[in-house]
Amino acid sequence: MRPILPVGLIFILLTIGVQPAASCTIPKGLASDDLKAADVVVRAFLQKFEVVEPNTKARLTLEVREAVFGFRSQGEILALWESPTGEMQDHWTSSRDVLVALKRINFAEDGVWYRIIQPSCAPPSLMEFNAQNTWRLAEAMHD
């Protein structure tokens, strides 16, 4: 019976070892350090949501209504949203009136000049525009 225990432990370790590592063991809220890196925070209307890579990447067409932080004139912009958790929806189901924190991309890809900030284990900085989310975003950016 003794040899069964080490063999069983090795089997368990190998089984666990080949599983993909969970990207987030403890989800966190909006990350102030990451949001402070935002070049622009805008209130916008989400015109178009296009999946580029299933579960991980989408291109959004945003009609900027107002700049909350940083200089950005009103008008249409394209933004890339990459989910580090691989849990991105395949279509947009929330409000299209959004508040979003963006980081400039150095070299435009297919007309996309901005990236939506979403650190690992944190929700994306793309949320419904309302008083509570505006407060959460302002609080996170000024911690």
**Range 105-128 average pLDDT:** 78
- With respect to residue 79, please indicate whether it lies within any of the assigned structural domains: yes
Most confident of 60-69, 81-90, 99-108, 109-118: 60-69
Give me the pLDDT at residue 90, please. 85
Using pLDDT thresholds of 50, 70 and 90, give the confidence band for residue 117: confident
Please give the structure tokens belonging to residue 27. Answer: 């989800």
- With respect to residue 65, please indicate whether it lies within any of the assigned structural domains: yes
- With respect to residue 7, please indicate whether it lies within any of the assigned structural domains: no
**Residue 14 exposed, middle or buried by CB count within 10 Å (0-12, 13-18, 19+):** exposed
- With respect to residue 17, please indicate whether it lies within any of the assigned structural domains: no
- With respect to residue 121, please indicate whether it lies within any of the assigned structural domains: yes
**Range 106-128 average pLDDT:** 78
> Which CATH number is 137's domain given?
2.40.50.120
Q: What is the pLDDT of residues 2-39, one digit of tens each?
A: 555 444 444 443 344 444 444 565 555 555 566 677 88
Q: What is the pTM of this model?
A: 0.71
Q: What is the pLDDT of residues 69-101, one digit of tens each?
A: 887 677 898 999 888 877 788 888 888 999 988
Give the integer Cα–Cα distance in Å for 117 and 92. 17
- With respect to residue 24, please indicate whether it lies within any of the assigned structural domains: no
- With respect to residue 49, please indicate whether it lies within any of the assigned structural domains: yes
Give me the pLDDT at residue 14, please. 39
Q: Round the average pLDDT of the chain to a whole number and report it.
A: 76
Tally of domains in the chain? 1
- With respect to residue 54, please indicate whether it lies within any of the assigned structural domains: yes
**Range 114-137 average pLDDT:** 80
**The domain containing residue 95 runs over which residues?**
30-141
Contact between 71 and 40 under an 8 Å Cβ cutoff? The reply is yes
